[in-house]
């Protein structure tokens, strides 16, 4: 179980930069990168308001009303919004909530909350969750470009996938994963520690995701 690590002490007059980056694949997901550490104690995922008990930042964000999920990792906070909600106005409110939490001096995550993956599901269960994500959201989004992402297997928390059609060898494949698929996978299966590209990108110089790389926290 993680310790309750308070963020670096921030003065009231110290500027805090927060950059919002909307997902290119999932319109309901947005990543907020903060200029300082939000919480250094690992990756924490909250799939709903009731799951955020023990996280002052999580509770503050869910109180906004349109937030459906929260992923806190290092200096990045990834928000999933309700499908019927609009980002207009919500992004600013999220940024204000993050800033207010940092200035409060309280840790974003308390020691009573376990990091994502502590109560890990089996590889088969993770595979089922990812397959549902591919069928329901991902492949529908990239079908218009003639592309498809297929699940090969999940082994030891590592997700093996292949890309076909318009995605194979495509120069934008790396963007597709890093800006969209990776975030979506963390939303449904935060226990996944790495995504491995098993595709032979004949037209590309390298796989769109490093084989030995791990997902950034």
Number of helices (H) and strands (E), helices first, in the chain? 6, 8
Q: What is the pLDDT of residue 205?
A: 39
Pairwise pLDDT comparison (56 vs 203), residue with the higher score: 56
Query: Can you read off the two tokens belonging to residue 156?
Result: 């030891």
Q: Does residue 163 have a pLDDT over 70?
A: yes
The 10s digit of each residue's pLDDT in 99-148 is 999 998 888 888 655 555 444 568 888 888 889 888 888 888 777 767 78
Confidence of residue 28 (pLDDT cuts 50, 70, 90): confident
Q: Which residues make Cβ contacts (< 8 Å) with residue 62, sequence separation at least 6?
A: 46, 48, 49, 52, 70
The 10s digit of each residue's pLDDT in 42-97 is 778 887 888 888 889 999 999 999 999 888 888 889 898 998 999 999 999 999 99
Measured between alpha carbons, how far is residue 106 from residues 57, 111, 209 in Å?
9, 12, 36
Residue whose token pair is 């207010």: 100
Q: What number is the average pLDDT over the span 18-40?
A: 87
Superfamily assignment of 18-104 in CATH? Scaffold protein Nfu/NifU, N-terminal domain (3.30.1370.70)
DSSP state of 49: G
Pairwise pLDDT comparison (165 vs 82), residue with the higher score: 82
Beta strand 194-197 pairing with 158-165: parallel
Q: What is the pLDDT of residue 153?
A: 93
Q: Which CATH class is domain 123-197?
A: alpha beta
Confidence of residue 210 (pLDDT cuts 50, 70, 90): very low
pTM of model > 0.75: no
The 10s digit of each residue's pLDDT in 184-201 is 887 778 778 888 888 765
Contact 129, 102 (CB under 8 A): no
The 10s digit of each residue's pLDDT in 51-61 is 888 889 999 99
Q: Where are the domains of the chain?
A: 18-104, 123-197
């Amino acid at each position: 179980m993680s310790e309750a690590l308070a963020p670096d002490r921030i003065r009231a007059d110290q500027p805090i930069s927060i950059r919002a980056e909307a997902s290119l694949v999932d319109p309901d997901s947005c990543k907020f990168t903060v200029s300082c550490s939000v919480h250094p104690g690992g990756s924490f995922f909250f799939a709903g308001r009731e799951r955020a008990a023990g996280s002052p930042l999580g509770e503050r964000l869910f109180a906004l009303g349109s937030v459906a999920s929260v992923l806190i990792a290092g200096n990045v906070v990834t928000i999933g919004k309700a499908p019927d909600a609009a980002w207009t106005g919500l992004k600013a409110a999220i940024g204000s909530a993050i800033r207010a939490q940092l200035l409060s001096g309280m840790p974003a995550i308390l020691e009573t909350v376990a990091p994502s993956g502590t109560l890990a599901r089996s590889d088969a269960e993770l595979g089922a969750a990812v397959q549902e994500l591919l069928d329901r959201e991902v492949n529908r989004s990239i079908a218009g470009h003639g592309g498809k992402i297929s699940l090969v297997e999940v082994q030891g928390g590592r997700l093996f996938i292949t890309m076909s059609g318009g995605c194979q060898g495509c120069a934008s494949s790396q963007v597709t994963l890093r800006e969209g698929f990776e975030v979506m996978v963390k939303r449904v299966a935060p226990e996944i520690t790495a995504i491995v590209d098993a595709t032979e990108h004949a037209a590309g110089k390298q796989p769109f995701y490093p084989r030995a790389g791990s997902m950034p926290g």
